[in-house]
A and B are shown apart, each in its own frame.
Chain A
Amino acid sequence: MTPHRPDAGLTAWICAALLLCAAGAGVPHAKAQQVSVDDAAQAYRQIRIEVDYAPAETIAGFEIWYAGQAFESTGEAELHSTIRVADTSALARGPEDVLFDRCWSDGLPIHRDSAGSPVADPDASNWSCALSGMTPGAEQWIAVVPVGADGAPLVDTESLQPVVGRTEVPDERTPPPDTRPVLYALSLVVLSTVALLLFLRRQDARQGRSKSRLAHVYVAPALIALATLTFYPILYGIWLAFTNADQSRLGDEAWIGLANFATVFAGPGVWRVTLFTFVWAVSNVLAHVALGLALAVALDRRGLRGRMVYRTILLLPWAIPGYISVLAWNGMLQPDGLVNGLLGTAIDFFDGAGSARTVVILVNIWLGVPFMMMVFSGALQALPSSMYEVAEIDGVSRWNQFRHLTLPNLKGTLVPVSLLGFIWTFNSFNTIYLLTRGNPYSGFGEPGATDTLITHVFAVAFEYGQYGVAAAWSVLIFLVLIGFSWAYLKRTRAMEAVA
């Protein structure tokens, strides 16, 4: 029999036979075996074959060989997979939803051993497999070779007669999910923003402020952009926090009430990660402000030689892209890195919880000092130098000048910048993600030793795929930050600038 070419779209069983008896007389225990391609079960990059054979004790397994053109010997083909024949009484039938190389025996999912490899029962006379990794729209030649207990083939592998199969499922991305709900929601947001602006404009007109007629038009694009890409996601996120959204349920999530919040608070390590977030933010800000102020004061000293050189070099941690510096520190802190080289040790700083935490904080301090230094430098330059000259004449010591002249005068900068620094550090992600990814690991779903709230939310969402739980975390962080921002905006009297 010649290999048969099944027509695309044909849903009938098309059988091509590989008859072992035809292969030659020298093969012992030659048994009839029939391989067929199931064209009805087309799937993406998969060809399903069905094998019927007479069970025999000599058969210890099957090898499936394939190639892109006709072949006669296994030397011209590639081994796709193997199926063992063994006692299956102690094994479970594999899950139906494995993605690759799904196999069935007697119409049920095939047994699988502890390594996940398929195993057929010695009594079975039939199995089928959906072979994955096949090029769509192209013919594939497939041959099945029974092997004995010693792994040697039971048929002549020089005169194989493969079957031909193809899958016509196109090589495309899966169609995008239904975009209509999102588009409706976005249009609604845009329309309500426009309506709000029109309403405000009418109010203006009623109050007789004709000069500012165009103002709302000017603000409109920015406001609409903000509404669609910030307010809408925030609202969507709040909705997600009450649903069972996860990686497999995108777009058809269902309301589950407060369950996600219960998951958050019942989970191990909630308070630990919250505490570490605050330790992280507070220690960083204290160090940033103290060191930044010290450097700014040092650079501000009159007659300091090489000020511009110092200043430029000290700016580097701010100027170099943050992710590059953090990755560089990652390399330097490896057991065979520069830091250990200098100390003459081989410590893995990222191994223990305590040392990993210290290290992430130190690296972030390194990153953040220059910004504070620059801010304070600017503020110091604004102070009148005559103030210090008078103090000098009066014999006030440097320390007292700093305490009683510099500090009180810097307070207007110090307080808002510290609060802002706190919020920024609280929100920071790169340092921890690129240094430790929150490790040392403390258990599945649990925040790692160096996780902050922010990096943990990332892990929950994009490593564990629990969008709903991540959204619940986000809502909680949002509430905490509203508190901080409120305090900050009140302290900085920003609203007076607005008025």
Chain B
Amino acid sequence: MNGNTHNSTDGGQGSATLAERWYVPVEIRALRVWLPFAALVNLLILAGEALRGNGAEQLGVLGAIVLLLILRASLPDGRQRWRRYAGQGLAAAILVLGLLSLLRRDATFYDLWATSWLFAPSALALYWMSAGLSGSWCAGAQDAGAAELGLARNRSLAPRFEAFALHTFLIHAVALVVAPVIWIVDVSISPGNILGGAIFDAFTLEHFRAVLGGEAFWLWTRNSLVVALGTTLVGLLLAIPAGYAFSRYQFAGRKGAMFVFMLIQMFPGIIILVPYFMVMKTLGLLNTSLGLIVAYSVTALPLCVWMLKGFFDAVPRALEEAALLDGCNRVEVFFFVVLPLSLPAVAITALFSFLTAWNEFLLALVFNTSNDAYTLPVGLASMIPATGQLWGDFAAASIVVSIPVVILFVLFQQSLIQGMSSGAVKG
């Protein structure tokens, strides 16, 4: 029993050194994690090379992946001195591979990025294994004092290493996210309808002029505004009383009704689209704003009811009871106490309804077949038919449509996320 305790504090294996157990330089720790990541990214690059059908490059990248993994496996472990030299050699080899691939052709932006995933890990590994490690640690001959100093150094350096890794990850994510945005801006200011080519090499406002000067765009905007505002109004009128009743009253059928409201959200519009379409056609509501308003208010209704119920729940009942004691009736309490208090919440729900209607595509596509009745989503999509695609005009219109929506989303992100998942997730 006693012996066991002794063993576990002093190192279970007899041959394990102090350094090995307690102190690994932060560089080695980092490389242990980063090298497999670099190999993973190079696997993606390999897929890219396969798309290009470039045999020699594929072999080069494949070789680099193998070398990166071998390097990871043979990193200095604070015991065997040879690992340091092996690591230096391997890192140098990867560096050479990267150089070779860069020299083989006129490097595009993509090539620079791809080779940087060979250069950066191997250069870091080479540098650290040459300058960053003490020889005594690599050989497993480090004493406790030096290890203690090293630990202190690790503590101060580790956050920086971590930050470097995080920023690398986040910058890659950001690049993927902004690529379409940059592309759209580029297409909107390039003459003609060119999809590729150099970024920001020409400037023209012809597309913005064509879109903003034409009638169609403003017609679609007007349709979208009418539909979205109508949806918001009708939706709120239906949802506020229901949300309030669910929040405040116990009544027969409450549980069933709330369950139905929850369940309805799970079904895609498409399964009722055919009967919906036939009802709308019979009632002559195709190609009208009214048809879409009716459809959207009901589509968004369950979520709005759930959102509002959650918000009303947060309004303290004591206030209502006080007002009731003061002689208000239930309706007055609702209008003069509850509603003003939950106005921000109602605004969020309204915004949610508005944005849902503003961005909806499927129902608008099916119900509005005439150009005069198009909403913005269908109108913008109609600029990109199979032939005669007006990419430039589409890009310009997209920017005009997106900017206000993006601002609203960014400003109210927290509330919108909460709302969207409230009915669904809060349970």
Binding site for B on A (CB under 8 A): 176-179, 182-183, 196-197, 200-201, 203-204, 207, 209, 211-212, 214-219, 221-223, 225-226, 229-230, 232-234, 236-237, 240, 245, 250-251, 294-295, 298-299, 301, 303-305, 310, 312-325, 327-332, 334, 336-338, 340-345, 347, 366, 371, 374-375, 378, 398, 413, 416-417, 420, 423, 426-427, 429-430, 433-434, 454, 457-458, 461-462, 467, 470-471, 474-475, 477-478, 481, 484-485, 488-489, 492-499
Which chain B residues border A229 with CB–CB below 8 Å?
276, 294-295, 298
Q: Select the stretch in B61-69, B179-187, B215-223 that faces chain A.
A: B179-187
Which residues of chain B in 235-280 are interfacial with respect to chain A, using CB atoms and an 8 Å cutoff?
237-239, 241-242, 244-246, 248-255, 257-264, 266-279
Which of A322, A461, A494 touches B262 (beta carbons < 8 Å)?
Answer: A494
Knowing A332-B183, A343-B52 are in contact, say whether A209-B406 is a contact too (CB < 8 A): no
Q: Select the stretch in B120-128, B130-138, B416-424 that faces chain A.
A: B416-424
Knowing A212-B251, A319-B406, A413-B425 are in contact, say whether A341-B196 is a contact too (CB < 8 A): yes
Q: Can you name 29 A-B pairs with beta carbons within 8 Å?
A: A179-B282, A200-B253, A204-B251, A209-B250, A214-B249, A214-B331, A216-B253, A218-B249, A219-B257, A226-B261, A230-B272, A234-B271, A237-B275, A250-B278, A299-B170, A301-B166, A303-B159, A313-B177, A315-B409, A316-B178, A329-B180, A331-B187, A338-B195, A343-B52, A343-B110, A345-B53, A398-B162, A478-B271, A497-B427
Contact pattern, B 389-427, Cβ under 8 Å of A = 1, otherwise 0: 001001100100110011001100110011011001111
Which chain B residues border A315 with CB–CB below 8 Å?
409-410, 413
Which chain A residues border B51 with CB–CB below 8 Å?
343, 345, 347
Which chain A residues border B197 with CB–CB below 8 Å?
341
Q: Are B237 and A240 in contact (CB under 8 A)?
A: no
Instruction: Please tell me if B305 contacts chain A, counting CB pairs below 8 Å.
Output: yes
Q: Are B163 and A304 in contact (CB under 8 A)?
A: yes
A128 CB, nearest partner CB in chain B, Å: 34
How distant is the Cα of A318 from the Cα of B359 in the complex, in angstroms? 12
Which residues of chain B in 66-103 are interfacial with respect to chain A, using CB atoms and an 8 Å cutoff?
none
Query: In this complex, what residue of A is CB-closest to B165?
Result: A298
How distant is the Cα of A229 from the Cα of B302 in the complex, in angstroms? 12
How distant is the Cα of A178 from the Cα of B281 in the complex, in angstroms? 10
B174 CB, nearest partner CB in chain A, Å: 5
Which of B194, B255, B268, B276 touches A427 (beta carbons < 8 Å)?
Answer: B268
Contact pattern, B 313-346, Cβ under 8 Å of A = 1, otherwise 0: 0000000000000000011000000000000000
Q: Are A327 and B381 in contact (CB under 8 A)?
A: yes
Q: Are B426 and A212 in contact (CB under 8 A)?
A: no
The 9 closest A-B pairs by CB, nearest first: A319-B409, A427-B268, A494-B427, A215-B249, A218-B245, A341-B196, A218-B241, A222-B242, A236-B275
Q: Are A218 and B275 in contact (CB under 8 A)?
A: no
Q: Are B421 and A375 in contact (CB under 8 A)?
A: yes
Instruction: Please tell me if B43 contacts chain A, counting CB pairs below 8 Å.
Output: no
Instruction: Please tell me if B4 contacts chain A, counting CB pairs below 8 Å.
Output: no
Query: In this complex, what residue of B is CB-closest to A358?
Result: B47
Q: A176-B282, A429-B270 are in contact. List 8 more A-B contacts (CB 8 A).
A: A176-B281, A298-B170, A331-B183, A331-B394, A375-B425, A413-B425, A474-B271, A481-B266
Q: Are B405 and A321 in contact (CB under 8 A)?
A: yes
Q: Are A233 and B237 in contact (CB under 8 A)?
A: no
Q: Are B271 and A226 in contact (CB under 8 A)?
A: no
**Which secondary structure dominates chain B's binding surface?**
helix
Knowing A226-B298, A317-B177, A485-B266 are in contact, say whether A237-B272 is a contact too (CB < 8 A): yes
Q: Are A221 and B237 in contact (CB under 8 A)?
A: yes
Which of B246, B268, B276, B406 touches A316 (beta carbons < 8 Å)?
Answer: B406
B258 CB, nearest partner CB in chain A, Å: 5
Which of A331, A344, A462, A477 touches B366 (beta carbons < 8 Å)?
Answer: A462
Contact pattern, B 138-179, Cβ under 8 Å of A = 1, otherwise 0: 000000000000000000000100110011011001101111
Which of A305, A416, A434 touches B424 (beta carbons < 8 Å)?
Answer: A416
Q: Are B110 and A222 in contact (CB under 8 A)?
A: no
Which chain B residues border A366 with CB–CB below 8 Å?
176-177
Which of B257, B275, B394, B426 touches A223 (beta carbons < 8 Å)?
Answer: B257
B393 CB, nearest partner CB in chain A, Å: 12
Number of interface residues of B (CB under 8 A): 109
Which chain B residues border A328 with CB–CB below 8 Å?
180, 183-184, 395, 398
Which chain A residues border B263 with CB–CB below 8 Å?
485, 489
Q: Are A233 and B276 in contact (CB under 8 A)?
A: yes
Which chain B residues border A179 with CB–CB below 8 Å?
282-284
Which chain B residues border A299 with CB–CB below 8 Å?
170
**Which secondary structure dominates chain A's binding surface?**
helix
B263 CB, nearest partner CB in chain A, Å: 6
A310 CB, nearest partner CB in chain B, Å: 5
How distant is the Cα of A201 from the Cα of B245 in the complex, in angstroms? 13
How distant is the Cα of A200 from the Cα of B253 in the complex, in angstroms? 7
Q: Are A312 and B410 in contact (CB under 8 A)?
A: yes
Contact pattern, B 364-405, Cβ under 8 Å of A = 1, otherwise 0: 001000000000010011001000000100110010011001
Q: Are B170 and A375 in contact (CB under 8 A)?
A: no
How distant is the Cα of A151 from the Cα of B200 in the complex, in angstroms? 55
Which of B195, B284, B421 touches A331 (beta carbons < 8 Å)?
Answer: B195
How distant is the Cα of A345 from the Cα of B52 in the complex, in angstroms? 6
Instruction: Please tell me if B362 contacts chain A, counting CB pairs below 8 Å.
Output: yes
How distant is the Cα of A221 from the Cα of B110 in the complex, in angstroms? 58
How distant is the Cα of A324 from the Cα of B275 in the complex, in angstroms? 28
Which of A234, A317, A497 touches B426 (beta carbons < 8 Å)?
Answer: A497
Query: In this complex, what residue of A is CB-closest to B105?
Result: A344
Knowing A371-B417, A461-B273 are in contact, say whether A344-B359 is a contact too (CB < 8 A): no
Which chain A residues border B5 with CB–CB below 8 Å?
none
Query: In this complex, what residue of B is CB-closest to A434?
Result: B381
Knowing A218-B245, A338-B195 are in contact, say whether A201-B294 is a contact too (CB < 8 A): no
Instruction: Please tell me if B191 contacts chain A, counting CB pairs below 8 Å.
Output: no
Q: Are B48 and A343 in contact (CB under 8 A)?
A: yes
Which chain B residues border A330 with CB–CB below 8 Å?
384
Knowing A226-B298, A461-B273 are in contact, say whether A338-B110 is a contact too (CB < 8 A): no
Q: Are B268 and A477 in contact (CB under 8 A)?
A: yes
Q: Are A221 and B282 in contact (CB under 8 A)?
A: no
Knowing A332-B180, A457-B270, A498-B259 are in contact, say whether A298-B195 is a contact too (CB < 8 A): no
Which chain B residues border A233 with CB–CB below 8 Å?
272, 275-276, 279
Query: In this complex, what residue of A is CB-closest to B52?
Result: A345
Which chain A residues border B305 with CB–CB below 8 Å?
222
Which chain B residues border A488 with CB–CB below 8 Å?
266
B349 CB, nearest partner CB in chain A, Å: 13
Q: Are B177 and A314 in contact (CB under 8 A)?
A: yes
Which of A222, A234, A323, A495 touches B359 (beta carbons < 8 Å)?
Answer: A323
A274 CB, nearest partner CB in chain B, Å: 15
Which chain A residues border B108 with CB–CB below 8 Å?
342, 344
B66 CB, nearest partner CB in chain A, Å: 23
Query: In this complex, what residue of A is CB-closest to B294?
Result: A229
Q: Are B195 and A420 in contact (CB under 8 A)?
A: no
Query: In this complex, what residue of A is CB-closest to B302?
Result: A226
How distant is the Cα of A316 from the Cα of B181 in the complex, in angstroms? 9
Which of A182, A329, A343 touches B279 (beta carbons < 8 Å)?
Answer: A182
Instruction: Please tell me if B17 contacts chain A, counting CB pairs below 8 Å.
Output: no
Q: Are B380 and A237 in contact (CB under 8 A)?
A: no
Q: Are A324 and B401 in contact (CB under 8 A)?
A: yes
Q: Are B262 and A212 in contact (CB under 8 A)?
A: no
How distant is the Cα of A403 from the Cα of B278 in the complex, in angstroms? 52
Which of A204, A310, A342, A470 touches B170 (beta carbons < 8 Å)?
Answer: A310
Instruction: Please tell me if B227 contacts chain A, counting CB pairs below 8 Å.
Output: no
Which chain A residues border B413 with CB–CB below 8 Å?
315, 319, 374
A494 CB, nearest partner CB in chain B, Å: 4
Query: In this complex, what residue of A is CB-closest to B386?
Result: A437
Q: Are A416 and B268 in contact (CB under 8 A)?
A: no
